[in-house]
Amino acid sequence: MQRLLRDAIYQRKLLNWVDIKRNNFFERLEDLLAEPLESLDKEFGRIQRSLRKLKDTIFAFLYDENLPYDNNGAERAMRKTKIKMKVSQGFRFDNGAKAFSILHSVMDTARKNGQSQFNAHRTIAAIE
């Protein structure tokens, strides 16, 4: 499975969008999911059943050019919140946590869209 995912990511990174051979990945996935793994270990069987349920979404990044093949963006977005929690031992009040989350979300969205974070902050401050 790891080799299959690595091959898909490799093609997405290096080939032109129209040159990616998408059907080959689904055939290989079907072959992997057809193997009798439950006899080896119950955990393998559980993972295999989960993959069967999600098989239509595993290679979604091969069909949508805007969809990333990793979750690094999501992990980076959460990083600032996690650091804030470690440094200050969490938030004292729920309202403070909500305000921090909203402001951080708006600033991160502005940055990702190439907009000024300062102007986004000014816009929020102007709303009453």
**pTM summary value:** 0.57
Question: Contact 11/20 with Cβ under 8 angstroms?
Answer: yes
Contact 8, 25 (CB under 8 A): yes
Q: Does 7 share its domain with 57? A: yes
pLDDT tens-digit map of 88-124: 666 777 787 787 778 888 888 888 888 888 888 888 7
If one counts the domains in the chain, the total is 2
Which of 6, 114, 9, 4 has the alpha carbon at shortest distance from 67? Answer: 9
Residue at 67 is within a domain: no
What range defines the domain where residue 122 resides?
72-126
What is the pLDDT of the chain when averaged over all its residues? 80
57 and 14 within one domain: yes
Q: Which of 15, 30, 62 is the last residue before a domain boundary?
A: 62
Give pLDDT tens digits for 47-57.
888 888 888 88
Is residue 26 in a domain? yes
Same domain, 57 and 76: no
Q: What pLDDT does 3 receive?
A: 92
